[in-house]
């Protein structure tokens, strides 16, 4: 079983002769206790091309100390990492291997560096004896297991204790700096060990295409979202907030880019990849759509006066949420564990390595991207006008849903073009996003009505009052109607002729 610890620390340069200042003079520190010396032996693992190190991930098997075992660290922010721990074993635990799947694929991790450290530990406490931080002076010997190189150094590490104000790190750093001790240039022991033992990473991927061309702009955007899928994969597995949504959005943006820029990238190659992205987004969508629906229904129920909540409404909604949520998460994880998903990641890598460029790929990026954005905007206009021409009802609801998808594609197209076209593309994306948001509210109301009808039928069959479910159904009808009434005005702002005309000024 793996567990997670948020690691907040700072590292400083030192030598064997570096003396520590009196840290009880740091604000908030009342005492410093010597905890003795611990011998640590850690072997760091990576892919042969050091893919983990390139993404600032650290995987090690360490003996010695209180936390001996396997440790996998994900960067959160500068000086902050999430450390996921698993018990000591001879082979990489499955719980950690899954978190590396999007990067390692069907390959293996191999030992790349061994670090043996003598850790001289001190605990910094406040007046009540509560641990504030752990300071260690580490004497490190590094051995490159693939290069044969060796290196040695001394460093100081200050790690914040759990549930402690990070300001204590600033106070300690102030005292260290006054003593002439400076922050380390290396973000981690591993990065320093790789550099100093001569372990060479693979060359960073280069996005094809001459700078300033449509190929360079579009492929740069594609690479951004391919990398986002890889990065969000372990977050989904860890069930982090918004992770499913972010991974799904990257799938959609890629698929949309393949359609929008089909005069730059050959559809014979990108269409099959797009279908696989659609499949993955769909598998993930069950979890995300359920999450959105659950939040909406809970909010609607909370807004009702208590006198209008009749029967075990909240309990039934909780049971429904829990059952659907578990099923949706199982489906999402099954997709990420499938051979089909790994094949998709490989196809995306292959597409970037050897892009299927068409004639327009060599065009000036401004010209090609502006034309593509206008075309998607025109497509959206057609969907909007068609939907507004229909009478209220199921057919119009479906047409508005199709318009919403067109709005999303037009928005993504404009956002992809922002680095090239600047403020005009950003302005257009913002206006189209307003359209998408309004149509999204309409679609959410339509979906909620279906769920509420189902809940009302179940409640009635169980002999419960269906009054509250019917009341909420009526409120969702009103929400959908309000969105429809507001659409012409929002669309008028998004379809102003000067918006698209300014794209190439």
Maximum separation of any 2 CA atoms in the chain, in Å: 83
Q: Are 185 and 336 in contact (CB under 8 A)?
A: no
Q: Are residues 192 and 163 in the same domain?
A: yes
| Token digits of residue 448 | 């909620």
Q: Are residues 409 and 483 in the same domain?
A: yes
**What are the pLDDT digits (tens) for 237-285?**
999 988 999 999 999 999 999 999 999 999 999 999 999 999 999 999 8
- Which residues share a beta bridge with 45? 59, 111
* CATH number of the domain encompassing residue 46: 2.40.320.10
Domain residue limits at 216: 205-362
Residue 304 phi, psi (nearest 5): -75, 140
C-alpha separations of 391 from 18, 351, 388, 399 in Å: 80, 44, 8, 11
The overall average pLDDT reported for the chain is 93
**What are the pLDDT digits (tens) for 12-30?**
999 888 999 999 999 999 9
Q: Are residues 125 and 251 in the same domain?
A: no
What local confidence, expressed as pLDDT, does residue 505 receive? 63
What local confidence, expressed as pLDDT, does residue 311 receive? 87
- Which residues share a beta bridge with 84? 4, 72
DSSP string computed for 280-316: HHHHHHHHHHHHHHHHHHHHHHHHS-GGG--SSHHHH
Q: Are residues 221 and 180 in the same domain?
A: no
- 446 pLDDT more than 90: yes
- 209 pLDDT more than 80: no
The three-class DSSP label of residue 330 is helix
Neighbours of 279 (CB within 10 A): 16
Q: Are 371 and 365 in contact (CB under 8 A)?
A: no
Q: What is the mean pLDDT of residues 382-408?
A: 95
Q: Are residues 338 and 420 in the same domain?
A: no
What local confidence, expressed as pLDDT, does residue 2 receive? 65
- Choose one of 151, 167, 197: the last residue of a domain: 197
Q: Are residues 335 and 376 in the same domain?
A: no
The tally of domains found in the chain comes to 3
Residue 391 phi, psi (nearest 5): -75, 150
Q: Are residues 427 and 485 in the same domain?
A: yes
Q: Are 254 and 222 in contact (CB under 8 A)?
A: yes
Q: Are residues 314 and 404 in the same domain?
A: no
Q: Are residues 295 and 193 in the same domain?
A: no
Angle at 365 between CA 364 and CA 369, to 5 degrees: 125
- Choose one of 362, 378, 397: the last residue of a domain: 362
Q: Are residues 488 and 499 in the same domain?
A: yes
**What are the pLDDT digits (tens) for 60-100?**
999 998 889 999 999 999 889 999 999 999 999 999 999 99
Q: Are residues 65 and 107 in the same domain?
A: yes
Residue 109 phi, psi (nearest 5): -95, 145
Q: Are residues 368 and 481 in the same domain?
A: yes
- Choose one of 333, 362, 391: the last residue of a domain: 362
Of residues 200 and 183, which shows the higher confidence score? 183
Which pTM value belongs to this model? 0.89
């Amino acid at each position: 079983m793996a567990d997670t610890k948020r690691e907040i620390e700072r590292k400083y340069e030192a030598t064997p002769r570096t003396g520590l200042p009196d840290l009880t003079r740091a604000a908030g520190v009342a005492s410093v206790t010597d905890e003795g010396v611990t011998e640590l032996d850690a072997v760091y693992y990576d892919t042969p091309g050091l893919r983990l190190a390139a993404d600032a991930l650290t995987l090690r098997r360490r003996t010695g100390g209180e936390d001996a075992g396997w440790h996998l660290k994900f960067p959160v922010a500068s000086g902050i990492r999430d450390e996921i721990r698993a018990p000591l074993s001879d082979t990489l635990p499955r719980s950690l291997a899954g978190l590396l799947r999007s990067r390692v694929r069907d390959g293996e991790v191999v030992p790349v560096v061994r670090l043996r450290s003598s850790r001289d530990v001190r605990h910094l406490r406040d007046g009540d004896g509560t641990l504030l931080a752990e300071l260690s002076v580490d004497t490190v010997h590094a051995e490159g297991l693939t290069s044969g190189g060796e290196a040695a150094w001394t460093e100081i590490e200050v790690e914040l204790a759990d549930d402690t104000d990070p300001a204590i790190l600033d106070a300690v750093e102030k005292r260290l700096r006054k003593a002439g001790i400076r922050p380390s240039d290396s973000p981690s022991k591993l990065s320093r060990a790789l550099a100093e033992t001569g372990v060479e990473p693979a060359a960073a991927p280069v996005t094809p295409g001459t700078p300033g061309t449509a190929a360079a702009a579009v492929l740069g955007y594609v690479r951004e979202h391919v990398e986002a899928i890889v990065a969000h994969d372990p977050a989904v597995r860890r069930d982090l907030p918004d992770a499913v949504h972010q991974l799904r959005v990257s799938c959609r943006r890629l698929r949309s880019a393949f359609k929008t820029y089909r005069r730059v990238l050959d559809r014979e190659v990108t269409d099959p990849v797009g279908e696989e992205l659609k499949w993955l987004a769909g598998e993930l969508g069950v979890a995300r759509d359920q999450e959105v629906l659950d939040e909406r229904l809970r909010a609607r129920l909370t807004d009702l006066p208590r006198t209008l909540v009749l029967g075990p409404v909240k309990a039934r909604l909780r049971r429904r949420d829990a059952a659907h949520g578990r099923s949706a998460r199982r489906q999402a994880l099954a997709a990420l564990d499938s051979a089909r998903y790994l094949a998709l990641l490989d196809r995306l890598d292959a597409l970037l390595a050897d892009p299927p460029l068409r004639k327009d790929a060599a065009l000036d990026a401004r010209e090609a991207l502006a034309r593509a954005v206008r075309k998607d905007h025109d497509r959206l206009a057609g969907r909007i006008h068609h939907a507004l021409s229909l009478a209220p009802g199921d057919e119009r609801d479906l047409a508005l849903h199709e318009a919403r998808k067109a709005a999303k594609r037009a928005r993504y197209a404009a956002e992809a073009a922002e680095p090239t076209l600047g403020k005009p593309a950003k302005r257009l994306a913002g206006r189209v996003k307003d359209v998408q948001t309004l149509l999204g509210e309409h679609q959410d109301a339509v979906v909620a009505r279906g769920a509420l009808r189902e809940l009302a039928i179940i409640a009635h069959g169980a002999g419960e009052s269906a009054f509250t479910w019917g009341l909420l159904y009526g409120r969702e009808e009103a929400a959908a109607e309000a969105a429809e009434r507001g659409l012409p005005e929002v669309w008028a702002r998004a379809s102003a002729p000067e918006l698209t005309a300014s794209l190439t000024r």
